[in-house]
Chains A and B, each alone.
Chain A
Amino acid sequence: MSDDIKPGQIDADRRSFFRSVGGVSVIAAAAVASPFVATEAEAYDPGSEEARARYRVTDDVKAFYRTNGYETKKK
């Protein structure tokens, strides 16, 4: 605090400095954020390729089904 300011008196220079800096940053943030504000939320769309069926009844799969049915075939 400078010597010419009495106790209880507001340091106008310091307050005005932060006010001006704050005002500039709010305007800058609004300018940066404005494109995102207009964008609507979107659910994840995996696309038909990513969600397509990959299961195939191969020899490997057939062998799995066959061996898992052994218990019943013995009796």
Chain B
Amino acid sequence: MARMKFLCDADRCIKCNACVTACKNENEVPWGINRRRVVTINDGKPGERSVSMACMHCTDAPCASVCPVNCFYTTADAVVLHSKELCIGCGYCFYACPFGAPQYPRTGNFGSRGKMDKCTYCSGGPEADLTVKEYEMYGANRLAEGKLPLCAEMCSTKSLLAGDGDVIAGIYKERVMTRGYGSGAWGWKTAYGEAIAIST
């Protein structure tokens, strides 16, 4: 069974924010919410890296672990989705997520929160596929249409990869082999220390 994954090639990202724009437009994301955003490390300095970040659809999702109403579920494609009908907007998932993926619309004064919104891997939600209700609540369901998330399909430098984890890992591996140096994936040096060589 294919496992859907995102992989951002930080050596290629030029922080054009086309992925952010594409996501907002495709899914009619409410004002004030960004399901995807570009994070830049060491901005303006040598070795600057930009990474496009969204929900990483974790295998053991912390958001699902802390949800008091158990509104999260994982599909057979390994996509982490949630039911907005069950969500109570408590914000626990926001604190649990290491990527800051869960977002909340501001529904009124005094900081009151609405239902949580996050990247759906362009695969809709628990409503029936390709219905108006599904689109209004969760956005597009491109996966059901036989397509991949638009953020990745739009990426002009082919930095953002999406799809079957095994396939995109193979593509990325080929790139690293061709470049002749270690992975530019942000965070690897943090994870593996000095044992891994990363170009700057």
- Asked if A64 contacts B143 (CB within 8 A), the reply is no
How close is A69's CB to chain B, nearest CB, in angstroms? Answer: 5
B163 within 8 Å of A (CB atoms): yes
A50 within 8 Å of B (CB atoms): yes
- Asked if B163 contacts A65 (CB within 8 A), the reply is yes
Residue of chain B at shortest CB distance from A72? B174
- Asked if A43 contacts B161 (CB within 8 A), the reply is no
- Asked if A55 contacts B141 (CB within 8 A), the reply is no
A47 to B124, CA, bound (A): 15
Report the tally of A-B residue pairs with Cβ distances under 8 A. Answer: 78
In this complex, the member of A52, A68, A70 whose beta carbon has the largest number of chain B beta carbons within 10 angstroms is: A68
Interface size of B in residues (CB-CB distance below 8 Å): 38
Q: Which of B122-140 contact A (CB under 8 A)?
A: 123, 126, 129
How close is A66's CB to chain B, nearest CB, in angstroms? Answer: 10
CB-CB under 8 A from A64, the residues of chain B are 148, 152-153, 162-163
Main secondary structure of the interface of A (DSSP, over half): loop
CB-CB under 8 A from A72, the residues of chain B are 171, 174-175, 177-178
CB-CB under 8 A from B161, the residues of chain A are 68
- Asked if A58 contacts B147 (CB within 8 A), the reply is yes
The answer to whether A54 and B147 touch (CB under 8 A), given A44-B69, A64-B163, is no
- Asked if B163 contacts A61 (CB within 8 A), the reply is yes
What are 13 A-B pairs with beta-carbon distances under 8 A? A44-B70, A54-B141, A60-B147, A61-B148, A64-B162, A64-B163, A65-B168, A68-B168, A69-B174, A71-B158, A71-B174, A71-B175, A72-B171
Q: Which residues of B line the A interface, CB within 8 A?
A: 1-2, 4, 69-77, 81, 83, 86, 123, 126, 129, 141, 143-144, 146-148, 152-153, 158, 161-164, 167-168, 171, 174-175, 177-178
Q: Which residues of A line the B interface, CB within 8 A?
A: 43-46, 50-58, 60-61, 64-65, 67-72, 75
